[in-house]
Amino acid sequence: MGDWAMTIFLGFLLVAIVAGLVTLAIISYKHDKANKIDKETAEKLIEESLEAEFENVQVRATVVDLSCSAEVIGIKKPKAVEQYRVAFETEDGKTFKFDIPQEMYEGFEKGQTGLLTIVDNELYGFEIE
């Protein structure tokens, strides 16, 4: 009777393990299926993101400040990096400051007035009047 009871116990244990594994497989399948999108939806999302427009602002502004500074970067091999900045003030008093390359910096002078174009919070252009 002891061997028979042990066989029944092992049988129930095996059934419980298989049932648990099947349950985990079903949960995993449903989770994976819920996180997947079909090809058509994926293509539509990609197309929409490619067509997304950047924030574009054009405003009349004046160059009010130009600055150049050096910043030391690095620990093992420190080096000085020059940073060039320009600040514009709009007719309604708003100030915009941008880091710019040296070549662009050399083209600005305080007091210049023109049409400032900002695309996605970056200086895109400045047409001097």
Domain limits, the chain: 2-51, 56-128
Residue type, 69: S
97-126 per-position pLDDT tens digit: 999 999 999 999 999 999 999 988 899 999
54-95 per-position pLDDT tens digit: 778 899 999 999 999 988 888 888 888 899 999 999 999 999
Q: Which fold has domain 56-128?
A: OB fold (Dihydrolipoamide Acetyltransferase, E2P) (2.40.50)
Beta-carbon contacts of 112 under 8 Å, excluding residues fewer than 6 positions away, are 62, 63, 126, 128
Of residues 80 and 36, which shows the higher confidence score?
80
CA nearest to 93, candidates 60, 123, 126: 60
- Whole-model pTM: value is 0.57
Neighbour tally for 68: CB within 10 Å: 10
Position 49 scores a pLDDT of 66
